[in-house]
Amino acid sequence: MQPIAHCPAVLIAAPASGQGKTTVTAALARLHARQGKRVRVFKCGPDFLDPHWHELASGQPVHNLDLWLNGEDDIRARLHEAALHSDLILVEGVMGLFDGEPSAADLAVRWGIPVLAVIDASAMAGTFGALVHGLRHYRPELPWAGVLANRVASEGHAQMLQASIRTGHTGGESADLDAGWLGALRRQAGFTLPQRHLGLIAAAELPDALARLDAIADALADTPLGRLDAQGWQRWAVAFEPSPVRPLPLLLQGRTIAIARDAAFAFIYPANLDTLRALGAELRFFSPLANEALPPCDAVWLPGGYPELHADTLSRSQRTRDHLEAHVHAGKPVWAECGGMMVLFDGITQTDGRRMPGWRILRGEVRMHPRLAALGPQQWTTPLGGLRGHTFHHSTVETDEPLAGWTEPVSAWGRPEAVYRRASLQASYFHAWFASCPEAAATLFLTEKP
Protein backbone atom coordinates (compact mmCIF):
# COMPACT_ATOMS: atom_id res chain seq x y z
CA MET A 1 0.00 0.00 0.00
CA GLN A 2 1.31 3.44 -0.91
CA PRO A 3 1.77 6.11 1.78
CA ILE A 4 -0.66 8.93 2.48
CA ALA A 5 0.06 11.89 0.21
CA HIS A 6 -0.28 15.49 1.43
CA CYS A 7 -1.05 18.31 -0.99
CA PRO A 8 -2.74 21.72 -0.79
CA ALA A 9 -6.21 21.49 -2.33
CA VAL A 10 -9.33 23.61 -2.68
CA LEU A 11 -12.75 22.97 -4.16
CA ILE A 12 -13.95 26.01 -6.11
CA ALA A 13 -17.71 26.29 -5.71
CA ALA A 14 -20.48 28.88 -6.01
CA PRO A 15 -24.06 29.52 -4.88
CA ALA A 16 -25.31 28.69 -8.40
CA SER A 17 -24.23 28.08 -11.97
CA GLY A 18 -22.97 31.06 -13.96
CA GLN A 19 -21.05 32.70 -11.09
CA GLY A 20 -17.64 32.28 -12.75
CA LYS A 21 -16.20 29.24 -10.99
CA THR A 22 -14.84 27.72 -14.23
CA THR A 23 -13.11 30.99 -15.10
CA VAL A 24 -11.58 31.33 -11.64
CA THR A 25 -10.51 27.69 -11.52
CA ALA A 26 -8.79 27.89 -14.91
CA ALA A 27 -7.16 31.25 -14.08
CA LEU A 28 -5.89 29.94 -10.74
CA ALA A 29 -4.44 26.88 -12.48
CA ARG A 30 -2.83 29.08 -15.12
CA LEU A 31 -1.36 31.44 -12.51
CA HIS A 32 0.40 28.62 -10.69
CA ALA A 33 1.40 26.68 -13.82
CA ARG A 34 3.15 29.82 -15.11
CA GLN A 35 5.19 29.78 -11.89
CA GLY A 36 6.41 26.29 -12.67
CA LYS A 37 4.14 24.51 -10.19
CA ARG A 38 2.59 21.17 -10.93
CA VAL A 39 -1.16 21.75 -10.88
CA ARG A 40 -3.83 19.07 -11.23
CA VAL A 41 -7.42 20.11 -11.85
CA PHE A 42 -10.53 17.96 -11.45
CA LYS A 43 -14.14 18.68 -12.39
CA CYS A 44 -17.09 17.61 -10.25
CA GLY A 45 -19.84 15.80 -12.07
CA PRO A 46 -20.14 14.66 -15.68
CA ASP A 47 -18.75 17.45 -17.85
CA PHE A 48 -16.82 17.42 -21.12
CA LEU A 49 -16.36 21.14 -21.79
CA ASP A 50 -14.95 22.79 -18.65
CA PRO A 51 -12.04 20.28 -18.56
CA HIS A 52 -10.83 21.58 -21.95
CA TRP A 53 -10.11 24.95 -20.30
CA HIS A 54 -8.54 23.40 -17.22
CA GLU A 55 -6.26 21.20 -19.31
CA LEU A 56 -5.11 24.21 -21.32
CA ALA A 57 -4.47 26.16 -18.10
CA SER A 58 -2.66 23.43 -16.18
CA GLY A 59 -0.99 21.45 -18.95
CA GLN A 60 -2.25 18.25 -17.28
CA PRO A 61 -5.09 15.82 -17.99
CA VAL A 62 -8.34 16.64 -16.21
CA HIS A 63 -10.53 13.92 -14.72
CA ASN A 64 -14.10 14.03 -13.45
CA LEU A 65 -15.08 13.31 -9.86
CA ASP A 66 -18.60 12.26 -8.95
CA LEU A 67 -19.45 10.17 -5.91
CA TRP A 68 -22.12 8.23 -7.79
CA LEU A 69 -20.49 8.02 -11.22
CA ASN A 70 -16.97 7.14 -10.06
CA GLY A 71 -17.56 5.62 -6.66
CA GLU A 72 -15.42 6.40 -3.61
CA ASP A 73 -12.57 4.00 -4.42
CA ASP A 74 -12.06 5.47 -7.88
CA ILE A 75 -12.07 9.05 -6.57
CA ARG A 76 -9.71 8.16 -3.75
CA ALA A 77 -7.25 6.61 -6.21
CA ARG A 78 -7.35 9.61 -8.58
CA LEU A 79 -6.86 12.19 -5.82
CA HIS A 80 -4.06 10.21 -4.22
CA GLU A 81 -2.21 9.81 -7.51
CA ALA A 82 -2.54 13.53 -8.16
CA ALA A 83 -1.32 14.43 -4.67
CA LEU A 84 1.78 12.28 -5.08
CA HIS A 85 2.91 14.26 -8.13
CA SER A 86 1.47 17.76 -7.67
CA ASP A 87 2.08 21.00 -5.83
CA LEU A 88 -1.58 22.01 -5.93
CA ILE A 89 -4.94 20.32 -6.54
CA LEU A 90 -7.96 22.29 -7.72
CA VAL A 91 -11.43 20.78 -7.92
CA GLU A 92 -14.14 22.73 -9.71
CA GLY A 93 -17.62 22.15 -8.32
CA VAL A 94 -20.83 21.68 -10.27
CA MET A 95 -23.92 23.91 -10.23
CA GLY A 96 -24.37 25.38 -6.73
CA LEU A 97 -22.35 24.12 -3.78
CA PHE A 98 -25.22 22.11 -2.31
CA ASP A 99 -27.01 21.23 -5.57
CA GLY A 100 -27.35 17.67 -6.76
CA GLU A 101 -27.27 14.28 -5.11
CA PRO A 102 -24.40 13.90 -4.52
CA SER A 103 -23.30 17.55 -4.41
CA ALA A 104 -19.93 19.26 -4.55
CA ALA A 105 -20.31 19.85 -0.80
CA ASP A 106 -20.59 16.08 -0.27
CA LEU A 107 -17.26 15.61 -2.04
CA ALA A 108 -15.61 18.39 0.00
CA VAL A 109 -16.82 16.92 3.28
CA ARG A 110 -15.89 13.34 2.36
CA TRP A 111 -12.26 14.21 1.54
CA GLY A 112 -11.80 17.26 3.76
CA ILE A 113 -11.13 19.60 0.83
CA PRO A 114 -11.61 23.27 1.82
CA VAL A 115 -14.19 25.19 -0.20
CA LEU A 116 -13.29 28.38 -2.03
CA ALA A 117 -16.58 30.13 -2.83
CA VAL A 118 -16.81 32.29 -5.97
CA ILE A 119 -19.75 34.69 -5.84
CA ASP A 120 -20.99 36.97 -8.61
CA ALA A 121 -21.30 40.20 -6.60
CA SER A 122 -22.23 42.42 -9.53
CA ALA A 123 -25.72 43.20 -8.20
CA MET A 124 -25.24 43.20 -4.44
CA ALA A 125 -23.48 44.84 -1.52
CA GLY A 126 -24.50 44.03 2.06
CA THR A 127 -26.33 40.86 1.02
CA PHE A 128 -22.94 39.46 0.01
CA GLY A 129 -22.12 38.95 3.69
CA ALA A 130 -25.35 37.04 4.33
CA LEU A 131 -24.71 34.80 1.32
CA VAL A 132 -21.17 34.06 2.47
CA HIS A 133 -22.41 33.31 5.98
CA GLY A 134 -25.01 30.91 4.63
CA LEU A 135 -22.55 29.02 2.43
CA ARG A 136 -20.04 28.89 5.25
CA HIS A 137 -22.38 27.58 7.97
CA TYR A 138 -25.17 25.70 6.17
CA ARG A 139 -23.27 22.46 6.84
CA PRO A 140 -21.19 22.79 10.01
CA GLU A 141 -18.78 20.04 8.96
CA LEU A 142 -17.95 21.71 5.63
CA PRO A 143 -14.22 22.59 5.39
CA TRP A 144 -13.80 26.22 4.34
CA ALA A 145 -11.04 28.15 2.58
CA GLY A 146 -12.63 31.52 1.86
CA VAL A 147 -14.52 33.63 -0.62
CA LEU A 148 -13.63 35.47 -3.82
CA ALA A 149 -15.99 38.17 -5.10
CA ASN A 150 -16.39 38.09 -8.87
CA ARG A 151 -17.54 40.73 -11.39
CA VAL A 152 -17.00 43.59 -8.96
CA ALA A 153 -17.59 47.12 -10.30
CA SER A 154 -14.89 49.11 -8.49
CA GLU A 155 -12.49 49.22 -5.57
CA GLY A 156 -15.20 50.91 -3.52
CA HIS A 157 -17.60 48.10 -4.35
CA ALA A 158 -15.01 45.55 -3.22
CA GLN A 159 -14.60 47.39 0.10
CA MET A 160 -18.35 47.29 0.69
CA LEU A 161 -18.40 43.57 0.00
CA GLN A 162 -15.55 42.91 2.38
CA ALA A 163 -17.17 45.09 5.04
CA SER A 164 -20.43 43.14 4.74
CA ILE A 165 -18.62 40.03 5.92
CA ARG A 166 -17.25 41.78 8.99
CA THR A 167 -20.49 43.43 10.07
CA GLY A 168 -22.55 40.29 9.54
CA HIS A 169 -20.40 38.12 11.79
CA THR A 170 -21.68 37.15 15.23
CA GLY A 171 -18.87 34.90 16.45
CA GLY A 172 -16.05 35.67 18.83
CA GLU A 173 -13.30 36.18 16.29
CA SER A 174 -12.80 38.45 13.31
CA ALA A 175 -15.36 37.75 10.60
CA ASP A 176 -12.72 38.58 8.00
CA LEU A 177 -10.63 35.65 9.20
CA ASP A 178 -13.60 33.34 9.66
CA ALA A 179 -15.07 33.91 6.20
CA GLY A 180 -11.68 34.15 4.55
CA TRP A 181 -11.88 37.21 2.30
CA LEU A 182 -9.62 36.30 -0.61
CA GLY A 183 -10.17 39.34 -2.79
CA ALA A 184 -12.22 40.52 -5.73
CA LEU A 185 -12.06 40.27 -9.51
CA ARG A 186 -13.27 43.27 -11.48
CA ARG A 187 -16.03 42.96 -14.06
CA GLN A 188 -14.47 42.92 -17.52
CA ALA A 189 -15.81 41.56 -20.79
CA GLY A 190 -12.55 39.71 -21.48
CA PHE A 191 -12.94 37.75 -18.26
CA THR A 192 -15.97 35.83 -19.51
CA LEU A 193 -15.50 32.51 -21.28
CA PRO A 194 -17.89 32.15 -24.28
CA GLN A 195 -20.75 29.65 -24.22
CA ARG A 196 -23.18 27.82 -26.50
CA HIS A 197 -26.15 25.53 -25.89
CA LEU A 198 -24.32 22.66 -24.14
CA GLY A 199 -21.95 24.84 -22.10
CA LEU A 200 -18.64 26.58 -22.61
CA ILE A 201 -17.04 26.71 -26.04
CA ALA A 202 -14.03 24.38 -26.00
CA ALA A 203 -10.72 26.15 -25.52
CA ALA A 204 -9.29 24.61 -28.70
CA GLU A 205 -11.90 26.47 -30.78
CA LEU A 206 -10.65 29.91 -29.73
CA PRO A 207 -7.28 31.16 -31.03
CA ASP A 208 -6.98 33.56 -28.08
CA ALA A 209 -7.95 31.04 -25.39
CA LEU A 210 -4.60 31.11 -23.59
CA ALA A 211 -4.42 34.91 -23.80
CA ARG A 212 -7.83 35.08 -22.13
CA LEU A 213 -6.63 32.87 -19.30
CA ASP A 214 -3.43 34.88 -18.91
CA ALA A 215 -5.41 38.11 -18.58
CA ILE A 216 -7.62 36.65 -15.85
CA ALA A 217 -4.60 35.09 -14.13
CA ASP A 218 -2.87 38.48 -14.11
CA ALA A 219 -5.89 40.01 -12.40
CA LEU A 220 -6.07 37.15 -9.93
CA ALA A 221 -2.41 37.63 -9.06
CA ASP A 222 -3.33 41.01 -7.57
CA THR A 223 -5.72 39.52 -4.98
CA PRO A 224 -4.96 38.02 -1.54
CA LEU A 225 -5.63 34.62 -3.08
CA GLY A 226 -3.17 35.23 -5.90
CA ARG A 227 -0.50 36.53 -3.54
CA LEU A 228 -0.47 33.44 -1.34
CA ASP A 229 2.95 31.82 -1.18
CA ALA A 230 3.70 28.12 -0.72
CA GLN A 231 3.48 28.42 3.06
CA GLY A 232 0.14 30.16 2.78
CA TRP A 233 -1.26 27.34 0.66
CA GLN A 234 -0.19 24.80 3.26
CA ARG A 235 -3.07 25.89 5.47
CA TRP A 236 -5.26 23.97 3.01
CA ALA A 237 -3.10 20.86 2.79
CA VAL A 238 -5.16 17.67 2.66
CA ALA A 239 -4.04 14.14 3.52
CA PHE A 240 -5.11 11.90 0.63
CA GLU A 241 -5.22 8.20 1.40
CA PRO A 242 -4.37 5.56 -1.22
CA SER A 243 -6.89 3.13 -2.64
CA PRO A 244 -6.13 -0.37 -3.89
CA VAL A 245 -6.19 -0.43 -7.70
CA ARG A 246 -7.87 -3.50 -9.18
CA PRO A 247 -5.98 -4.84 -12.20
CA LEU A 248 -8.34 -5.24 -15.14
CA PRO A 249 -8.66 -8.38 -17.23
CA LEU A 250 -7.15 -7.90 -20.68
CA LEU A 251 -10.45 -8.41 -22.46
CA LEU A 252 -9.41 -6.16 -25.35
CA GLN A 253 -5.85 -7.44 -25.67
CA GLY A 254 -4.74 -7.39 -29.31
CA ARG A 255 -7.71 -5.33 -30.45
CA THR A 256 -7.47 -1.89 -32.06
CA ILE A 257 -10.25 0.64 -31.47
CA ALA A 258 -10.62 3.57 -33.86
CA ILE A 259 -12.00 6.66 -32.12
CA ALA A 260 -13.45 9.73 -33.83
CA ARG A 261 -11.86 12.84 -32.35
CA ASP A 262 -12.18 16.39 -33.66
CA ALA A 263 -14.32 19.49 -33.06
CA ALA A 264 -17.50 17.54 -33.86
CA PHE A 265 -16.63 14.54 -31.65
CA ALA A 266 -14.82 15.88 -28.60
CA PHE A 267 -16.87 14.60 -25.65
CA ILE A 268 -14.37 12.02 -24.44
CA TYR A 269 -13.55 11.32 -20.81
CA PRO A 270 -9.78 10.79 -20.46
CA ALA A 271 -10.71 8.10 -17.92
CA ASN A 272 -12.52 6.20 -20.67
CA LEU A 273 -9.39 6.14 -22.80
CA ASP A 274 -7.37 4.99 -19.77
CA THR A 275 -9.88 2.20 -19.15
CA LEU A 276 -9.72 0.95 -22.73
CA ARG A 277 -5.91 0.91 -22.61
CA ALA A 278 -5.98 -0.90 -19.24
CA LEU A 279 -8.24 -3.52 -20.86
CA GLY A 280 -5.47 -4.07 -23.42
CA ALA A 281 -6.79 -2.11 -26.40
CA GLU A 282 -4.66 -0.11 -28.81
CA LEU A 283 -6.31 3.23 -29.60
CA ARG A 284 -6.13 5.06 -32.91
CA PHE A 285 -7.86 8.33 -33.73
CA PHE A 286 -9.39 9.75 -36.89
CA SER A 287 -11.27 12.89 -37.91
CA PRO A 288 -14.64 12.65 -39.68
CA LEU A 289 -14.53 16.43 -40.22
CA ALA A 290 -11.37 15.92 -42.27
CA ASN A 291 -13.12 13.08 -44.14
CA GLU A 292 -10.47 10.62 -43.00
CA ALA A 293 -10.78 6.92 -43.65
CA LEU A 294 -11.04 4.57 -40.70
CA PRO A 295 -7.62 3.38 -39.62
CA PRO A 296 -7.19 -0.41 -39.61
CA CYS A 297 -9.22 -1.47 -36.57
CA ASP A 298 -11.36 -4.11 -34.92
CA ALA A 299 -13.95 -1.73 -33.44
CA VAL A 300 -15.05 1.92 -33.66
CA TRP A 301 -16.14 4.44 -31.04
CA LEU A 302 -18.07 7.52 -32.16
CA PRO A 303 -18.19 9.71 -29.03
CA GLY A 304 -20.46 12.66 -28.39
CA GLY A 305 -19.88 16.22 -29.43
CA TYR A 306 -21.41 18.85 -31.69
CA PRO A 307 -22.34 17.17 -34.99
CA GLU A 308 -25.21 19.67 -35.38
CA LEU A 309 -22.69 22.53 -35.62
CA HIS A 310 -20.78 20.71 -38.35
CA ALA A 311 -23.65 18.90 -40.08
CA ASP A 312 -22.90 20.41 -43.49
CA THR A 313 -19.25 19.31 -43.42
CA LEU A 314 -20.11 15.89 -42.03
CA SER A 315 -22.72 15.32 -44.72
CA ARG A 316 -19.88 15.63 -47.26
CA SER A 317 -17.50 13.29 -45.40
CA GLN A 318 -18.23 10.49 -47.82
CA ARG A 319 -14.97 8.59 -47.32
CA THR A 320 -15.48 8.38 -43.55
CA ARG A 321 -19.10 7.40 -44.03
CA ASP A 322 -18.34 4.67 -46.58
CA HIS A 323 -15.55 3.17 -44.49
CA LEU A 324 -17.81 3.11 -41.45
CA GLU A 325 -20.62 1.45 -43.38
CA ALA A 326 -18.21 -1.19 -44.68
CA HIS A 327 -17.00 -1.75 -41.11
CA VAL A 328 -20.58 -2.37 -39.95
CA HIS A 329 -21.36 -4.66 -42.88
CA ALA A 330 -18.26 -6.69 -41.97
CA GLY A 331 -19.83 -7.37 -38.57
CA LYS A 332 -17.32 -5.31 -36.61
CA PRO A 333 -18.51 -3.48 -33.47
CA VAL A 334 -19.41 0.20 -33.31
CA TRP A 335 -20.38 2.12 -30.17
CA ALA A 336 -22.03 5.44 -31.10
CA GLU A 337 -22.68 7.79 -28.21
CA CYS A 338 -25.04 10.80 -28.31
CA GLY A 339 -23.57 13.08 -31.00
CA GLY A 340 -21.80 10.07 -32.47
CA MET A 341 -25.20 8.44 -32.84
CA MET A 342 -26.96 11.52 -34.26
CA VAL A 343 -24.81 11.69 -37.39
CA LEU A 344 -25.63 8.05 -38.26
CA PHE A 345 -29.30 8.77 -38.96
CA ASP A 346 -30.85 9.94 -42.22
CA GLY A 347 -30.79 13.63 -41.33
CA ILE A 348 -30.51 16.33 -38.67
CA THR A 349 -33.05 19.17 -38.63
CA GLN A 350 -31.80 22.34 -36.95
CA THR A 351 -33.91 24.58 -34.72
CA ASP A 352 -34.44 26.96 -37.64
CA GLY A 353 -35.97 24.17 -39.76
CA ARG A 354 -32.96 23.52 -42.01
CA ARG A 355 -32.35 19.81 -42.58
CA MET A 356 -28.86 18.46 -43.22
CA PRO A 357 -28.44 14.91 -44.52
CA GLY A 358 -26.78 12.40 -42.19
CA TRP A 359 -24.80 9.29 -42.99
CA ARG A 360 -27.89 7.06 -43.46
CA ILE A 361 -26.41 4.11 -41.61
CA LEU A 362 -29.34 4.10 -39.18
CA ARG A 363 -32.96 4.78 -40.15
CA GLY A 364 -34.54 7.84 -38.60
CA GLU A 365 -34.52 11.60 -38.21
CA VAL A 366 -32.88 13.78 -35.56
CA ARG A 367 -34.45 17.10 -34.58
CA MET A 368 -32.68 19.81 -32.57
CA HIS A 369 -34.62 21.73 -29.89
CA PRO A 370 -33.90 25.09 -28.23
CA ARG A 371 -34.26 23.53 -24.78
CA LEU A 372 -32.77 20.48 -23.11
CA ALA A 373 -34.48 17.25 -24.06
CA ALA A 374 -32.85 15.18 -21.30
CA LEU A 375 -30.38 15.61 -18.48
CA GLY A 376 -29.19 13.48 -15.58
CA PRO A 377 -27.38 10.36 -14.37
CA GLN A 378 -28.25 7.02 -15.95
CA GLN A 379 -27.32 3.37 -15.50
CA TRP A 380 -27.37 0.63 -18.11
CA THR A 381 -27.80 -2.77 -16.48
CA THR A 382 -25.92 -5.44 -18.43
CA PRO A 383 -25.26 -9.14 -17.78
CA LEU A 384 -21.78 -8.16 -16.59
CA GLY A 385 -22.88 -5.37 -14.26
CA GLY A 386 -24.21 -1.83 -14.21
CA LEU A 387 -22.52 0.62 -16.55
CA ARG A 388 -22.97 4.12 -15.14
CA GLY A 389 -23.09 7.36 -17.07
CA HIS A 390 -25.31 10.30 -17.88
CA THR A 391 -27.43 11.93 -20.57
CA PHE A 392 -27.37 15.54 -21.74
CA HIS A 393 -28.82 16.53 -25.12
CA HIS A 394 -30.90 19.11 -26.98
CA SER A 395 -32.22 16.75 -29.65
CA THR A 396 -34.64 13.88 -30.09
CA VAL A 397 -34.74 11.08 -32.63
CA GLU A 398 -37.61 9.36 -34.42
CA THR A 399 -36.61 5.87 -35.53
CA ASP A 400 -37.83 2.31 -35.85
CA GLU A 401 -34.39 0.81 -35.27
CA PRO A 402 -34.51 -2.28 -33.00
CA LEU A 403 -33.74 -1.85 -29.31
CA ALA A 404 -31.02 -3.58 -27.32
CA GLY A 405 -32.47 -2.20 -24.09
CA TRP A 406 -33.00 0.93 -22.01
CA THR A 407 -30.93 2.79 -19.49
CA GLU A 408 -32.42 3.57 -16.07
CA PRO A 409 -32.52 7.14 -14.75
CA VAL A 410 -31.11 7.55 -11.28
CA SER A 411 -33.25 10.54 -10.33
CA ALA A 412 -37.03 10.41 -9.98
CA TRP A 413 -37.51 13.07 -12.66
CA GLY A 414 -35.23 11.45 -15.24
CA ARG A 415 -36.27 9.52 -18.32
CA PRO A 416 -34.71 6.30 -19.64
CA GLU A 417 -32.62 6.37 -22.81
CA ALA A 418 -33.04 3.85 -25.61
CA VAL A 419 -30.07 1.75 -26.66
CA TYR A 420 -30.44 0.84 -30.34
CA ARG A 421 -28.77 -2.12 -31.94
CA ARG A 422 -28.40 -3.10 -35.57
CA ALA A 423 -26.15 -6.16 -35.91
CA SER A 424 -22.76 -5.11 -34.49
CA LEU A 425 -23.68 -1.41 -34.14
CA GLN A 426 -24.98 -0.09 -30.82
CA ALA A 427 -26.06 3.53 -30.30
CA SER A 428 -27.62 5.66 -27.59
CA TYR A 429 -27.81 9.15 -26.12
CA PHE A 430 -26.25 7.54 -23.04
CA HIS A 431 -22.70 8.72 -22.22
CA ALA A 432 -20.96 5.78 -20.52
CA TRP A 433 -18.31 6.05 -17.80
CA PHE A 434 -16.26 2.98 -18.73
CA ALA A 435 -14.44 2.71 -15.39
CA SER A 436 -17.74 2.07 -13.57
CA CYS A 437 -17.85 -1.44 -15.08
CA PRO A 438 -14.87 -2.13 -17.36
CA GLU A 439 -16.10 -5.62 -18.20
CA ALA A 440 -19.39 -4.26 -19.54
CA ALA A 441 -17.57 -1.47 -21.38
CA ALA A 442 -15.36 -4.03 -23.10
CA THR A 443 -18.40 -5.76 -24.62
CA LEU A 444 -19.21 -2.58 -26.57
CA PHE A 445 -16.10 -3.28 -28.65
CA LEU A 446 -16.37 -7.07 -28.94
CA THR A 447 -18.42 -9.10 -31.40
CA GLU A 448 -19.10 -11.65 -28.67
CA LYS A 449 -19.22 -11.39 -24.90
CA PRO A 450 -15.92 -12.35 -23.26
- Residue 203 has a pLDDT of 52
- Asked if the model's pLDDT at residue 38 lies above 80, the reply is yes
pLDDT score at 174: 41
Q: Distance (Å, rounded) from C-alpha 179 to C-alpha 163?
A: 11
**Full-model pTM:** 0.90
Please report the DSSP string for 196-217 in residue order: ETTEEPPGGG-TTHHHHHHHHH
**DSSP three-state, residue 102:** coil
- 375-401 pLDDT tens trace: 889 999 999 999 999 999 899 999 999
Confidence at residue 159, expressed as pLDDT on a 0 to 100 scale: 94
Q: How far is CA 371 from CA 71, 76, 95, 309, 415, in A?
A: 30, 36, 18, 16, 16
The predicted model gives 346-365 an average pLDDT of 95
Mean pLDDT to the nearest integer, 238-260: 94
- The arithmetic mean of pLDDT across residues 117-132, rounded, is 94
Q: Classify residue 138 by burial, with Cβ atoms within 10 Å: 0-12, 13-18, 19+.
A: exposed
Res 140: pLDDT:
93
338 is catalytic: yes
pLDDT at residue 403 above 90? yes
Write down the catalytic residue from 7, 44, 338, 437: 338
Domains of the chain: 5-240 (3.40.50.300), 256-443 (3.40.50.880)
Using one digit for the tens of pLDDT, what is the confidence trace for 160-179? 999 998 754 444 344 444 67
Q: Identify the CA nearest to 357 among candidates 291, 298, 312.
A: 312
Please give the pLDDT value at position 101.
86
The per-residue pLDDT for 295 is 97
pLDDT band at 248 (very low <50, low <70, confident <90, very high): very high
Residue 80: strand, helix, or coil: helix
How many Cβ atoms are within 10 Å of 50's Cβ, its own excluded? Answer: 26
pLDDT of residue 73: 94
Flag whether pLDDT at 198 surpasses 80.
no
pLDDT of residue 143: 97
pLDDT of 190: 56
Instruction: Examine the pLDDT at 96 and tell me if it is beyond 60.
Output: yes
Q: Across the strands, what pairs with 156?
A: none
**Residue of 338, 350, 284 whose CA lies nearest to 312:** 350
pLDDT at 187: 85
Q: What is the mean pLDDT of the chain?
A: 91
- Per the model's pLDDT, the better-predicted residue between 312 and 190 turns out to be 312
pLDDT of residue 97: 97
CA-closest candidate to residue 31, choices 219, 159, 172:
219
Rounded mean pLDDT of 46-70?
A: 92
For residue 27, give every residue at least 6 positions away whose Cβ sits within 8 Å of its Cβ, in sequence order, or none.
57, 213, 216, 217, 219, 220
Going by the DSSP 8-state scheme, the letter that residue 164 receives in this structure is H
Percentage of the residues of the chain whose pLDDT score is greater than 70: 92
- pLDDT value at 449 more than 80: no
First-residue to last-residue Cα distance in the chain: 31
Instruction: Check: CB of residue 34 under 8 Å from CB of residue 217.
Output: yes
The whole-number pLDDT of residue 194 equals 56
